[in-house]
Chain A
Amino acid sequence: MPNFIDAERCEDVLILRLNRPDSLNALNTAMRDELWQYLMLLRDDFSIKSAVLYGGGDKAFSAGADITEFGTAPSIIDARAARENRDLWDLMQSLDTPLIAALQGYSFGAGLEMALYCDLRVAEHNALFALPEVKLGYIPSAGGTQTLPRHIGASDSSMMITSGNSINAEKAYQIGLIQYLTDHSQYLQFAIDLALEISQMNPKIVRAIKRSVRSSEMEISEGLAYEARVRLSLSR
């Protein structure tokens, strides 16, 4: 069995590499299963203080879902049930450990959606971003219609999602889709350095901030109460 995800530890940082470079790191079922295992590790192993996710090879972070699996999918009812039973994306968005996406080349479809669940996005100058699902007659289904508008403005997200067209790294930086823009030779090291920097901070504080910011999905009064509870729990 090949590994579709390689993991490497660098001090307190876990570095995850999507490892299907010949398929532009397209997400297949096996890769998703492995990712699930690593995300569980991130959730449960508190010695890991932050993580980096990047794409192997030199062409892509991930070109999206593996379309050759589309015909073999179980019935839509089974697929929905499976998603509800073991929700990879929900696990990713509920992690308290910071996750940094290092993006090269293509981040398309589920590839971009995966990056949108990360806390920070670093990209290199030739990176391209798209949610091209409408070209194939469907919509983003790993959360893109929900996460993208929460990261960038309404008009920009509608443009990307309803046209399916890609945007380049410059535009992505300008509209706030990515937070850091570097040369290709540096993007991965930049992301790792960022993760190392965060790993030096008090993990209780870092996790508290992630939990509190996530509660900004609540009504403001509930969110503020949640923030206060998190803060009080730290001072005990």
Chain B
Amino acid sequence: MSINISYEDHIAIISLELVEDCFDLDSLGELIQHSSTVSMDVEDIYVVIIHSLNSSFAIGWSPEILDKTSDDQVAIGAAFKAIAEIKQPTIAVMSGSVLSAGLELSLSCDIRIASRNSLFAFPETKMGYVPLAGATQRLPRAIGRSNALRMLLTGEEIDADEALRIGLVSELVDDEQLNLRSREIAEIIASRGPIATRFAKEAILRGSEVGLSEGLQTELDLTVILQSTEDRAEGVAAFMEKRDPVFKNR
């Protein structure tokens, strides 16, 4: 296995240990499997971290994948689509080189944080092909069209500070602090109402694909559903009593 999943309290940790930092067919299959494991276990898993055990997050595709005919390549995006469709909030934690498929995987996550040493690029154009797994769709949605086109058309490498400036990542951390900080963010999210964080993610993602008024209706409908949950009653009661809430995911 080049991608493993482990659990700590309500946090699922997907750990990449890719050969040569590249995704091959087996690792994509593992990613699909872990995505469905996580999505089907909303009872116990409240938040997901995706990180790499290697010094780089991920840098691209294995030769086996690049050699595929274009018909087969269509299916390659399925693994990152599965990650994007995870119900719980997902955090990509990146360090070192984050290129091509590595960056595309992170764009399928909700939150991106990175080490100060990280570098980001889509070098595909330079090599004469287009990104295989969602970059042309997810990058403009994440950072706006101009910055997306700049990265995709030039293939230029941007450093961590520039990635923070253009909003590609939300936070920079010293490399040795990266695990600690990502765990901290995951624990914060896991401590919130778990139905609320899932619904918040749903509202953001559904709303981003429709007009504002339709998005507002989606938010209102999800709010109405949430009002009948035990967790919402507990959250409000705890706030009034000035104590920490105990959410039960109900």
Contacts and interface: CB of A to CB of B under 8 A. Distances in A.
B228 A162 contact: no
Interface stretch (A43-51, A98-106, A153-161, A197-205): A153-161
Contact of A155 (B167, B215, B227): B167
Nearest to B226: A138
Interface string B197-239: 1011101100110011101101110111011110111111011
A161 B198 CA distance: 11
Nearest to A148: B204
B188 interface: yes
A174 B223 CA distance: 30
B79 interface: no
A134 B203 contact: no
B240 interface: yes
A146 B219 contact: yes
A140 interface: yes
Nearest to B221: A80
Nearest to B196: A134
Contacts of A70: 236
A137 B231 contact: yes
Which of A68, A77, A134, A165 neighbours the largest number of chain B CB atoms within 10 Å of its CB?
A: A134
Given A154-B141, A162-B201, A137 B236 contact: yes
20 contacts: A83-B220, A133-B196, A135-B235, A136-B232, A137-B195, A137-B235, A138-B196, A138-B223, A138-B226, A139-B196, A139-B222, A141-B223, A143-B219, A145-B200, A145-B203, A152-B167, A153-B142, A155-B110, A155-B167, A157-B204
B50 interface: no
B160 interface: no
A119 interface: no
B193 A145 contact: no
Contacts of B215: 145-146
Given A153-B167, A158-B110, A93 B196 contact: no
Contacts of A138: 193, 196, 223, 226-227, 232, 235
Contacts of B102: none
A164 interface: yes
Contacts of A224: none
B204 A149 contact: yes
Contact of B219 (A79, A141, A158): A141
Interface string A142-183: 011111011011111111011111000000001110000000
Closest 10 CB pairs of A and B: A153-B167, A137-B235, A137-B193, A136-B235, A145-B203, A137-B231, A134-B192, A158-B110, A146-B215, A141-B223
A139 B222 CA distance: 8
A67 B236 CA distance: 8
Contact of B239 (A79, A136, A147): A136
Contacts of A153: 142-144, 166-168, 170
Nearest to B188: A163
A176 B227 CA distance: 32
Contacts of B219: 139-141, 143-146
A155 B232 contact: no
Which of A79, A137, A165 neighbours the largest number of chain B CB atoms within 10 Å of its CB?
A: A137
B200 A76 contact: no
Contacts of A68: 240
A225 interface: no
